[in-house]
């Protein structure tokens, strides 16, 4: 086996690409253990280093059994952040295709669905279980067409606000469709989005208005993402863990890097990977709001 490898450190952060001989060295130094998850091209999923033939001999014959994981939620789901593995040029190409599809309107259902499918396949749950997306372009083609048309219509005088409100409402349909079609390799993932239309529209309006404060939008976006994650129901639950300050400085750094054009592909991967890693798996009950007591 040859080529570059990626591994997850003790905090579940993705490291790599790393050459095979470097992996062997890290095993010798104790930085990579028998249970450290490793992935490379050709693997179907993240695999413990001790189960990979090229590295298993590096751990010796008598390794103590791994202690039981303490990161499992009540429902058997591993807690922790999602794990992105977004290739630089593929990410850039997919984003460009989505932008082109939206501009041309008609191709938007195909370019957007293809992007969601690609994105899901490059994100894993905290234990390395890969995700997939089974939605089809024809499922809600009218939503993609509508959002693309409304983006153009927003440039027309007096149409901007109605177009924005309607586009936000269609965004709820899009989120519901995405959650319902997201799958895990083991088939256990079953999600739905229960957020309300008017609440989501309100968050979008507040986000736009918050740009007046120059920096306030970062905290509004944080709260909005927390609301979205809390309204994703099923097993497991999710939460958005980024702080407003982290969103602010990383967004500003991303924009600054894009000004220089050349760093755009790497800046896009850096920002997108960080954003995905701020969505963490929690106990399913954490995403459910407290039930109100029945009126007497």
Would you list the domain boundaries of the chain? 4-57, 82-287
Of 192 and 75, the one with more pLDDT: 192
Class of the CATH-defined domain 4-57: alpha beta
pLDDT band at residue 10 under the 50/70/90 scheme: low
Supply the pLDDT for residue 284.
62
Across the range 39-68, mean pLDDT stands at 69
The bridge status of strand 279-282 relative to strand 47-48 is unpaired
pLDDT classification of 76: cutoffs 50, 70, 90: low
Q: From start to end of the chain, where are the E strands?
A: 4-8, 14-19, 37-40, 47-48, 80-81, 83-84, 123-124, 131-133, 182-184, 190-193, 232-235, 237-240, 279-282
Task: Please state the pTM of the whole predicted model.
Answer: 0.73
Statement: residue 17 has pLDDT above 50: yes
Say yes or no to pLDDT of 75 above 70.
no
Q: pLDDT tens digits for 218-229?
A: 999 999 999 999
- Give me the mean pLDDT over the 34-42 stretch: 81
| Whether the predicted pLDDT of 73 surpasses 60 | no
Tokens representing 171 are 């965004």
């Amino acid at each position: 086996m040859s080529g570059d490898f990626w591994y997850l450190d003790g905090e579940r952060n993705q490291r790599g690409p790393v050459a095979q001989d470097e992996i062997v060295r890290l095993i010798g130094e104790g930085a990579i253990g028998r249970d450290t998850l490793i992935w490379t091209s050709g693997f179907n999923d993240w695999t413990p280093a001790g189960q990979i033939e090229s590295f298993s001999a590096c751990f010796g014959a008598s390794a103590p059994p791994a202690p039981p994981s303490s990161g499992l939620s009540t429902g058997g789901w591993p807690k922790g952040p999602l794990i992105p593995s977004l290739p630089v040029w593929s990410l850039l190409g997919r984003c460009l295709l989505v932008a082109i599809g939206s501009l041309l309107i008609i191709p938007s259902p195909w370019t957007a669905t293809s992007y969601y499918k690609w994105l899901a396949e490059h994100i894993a749950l905290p234990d390395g279980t890969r995700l997939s997306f089974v939605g089809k372009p024809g499922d809600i083609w009218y939503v993609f067409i509508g959002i693309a048309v409304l983006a153009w219509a927003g440039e027309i005088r007096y149409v901007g606000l109605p177009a924005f409100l309607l586009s936000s409402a269609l965004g709820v349909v899009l989120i519901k469709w995405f959650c319902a079609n997201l799958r895990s390799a083991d088939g256990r993932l079953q999600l739905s989005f229960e957020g309300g239309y008017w609440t989501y529209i309100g968050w979008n309006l507040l986000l736009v208005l918050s740009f007046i404060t120059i920096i306030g939008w970062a905290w509004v976006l944080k709260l909005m993402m927390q609301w979205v994650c809390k309204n994703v129901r099923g097993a497991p639950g999710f939460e958005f863990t980024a702080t407003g300050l982290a969103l602010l400085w990383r967004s500003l750094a991303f924009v600054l890097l894009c000004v220089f054009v050349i760093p755009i592909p790497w800046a896009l991967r850096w920002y997108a990977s960080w954003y995905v890693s701020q969505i963490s798996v929690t106990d399913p009950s954490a995403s459910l709001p407290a039930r109100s007591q029945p009126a007497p």
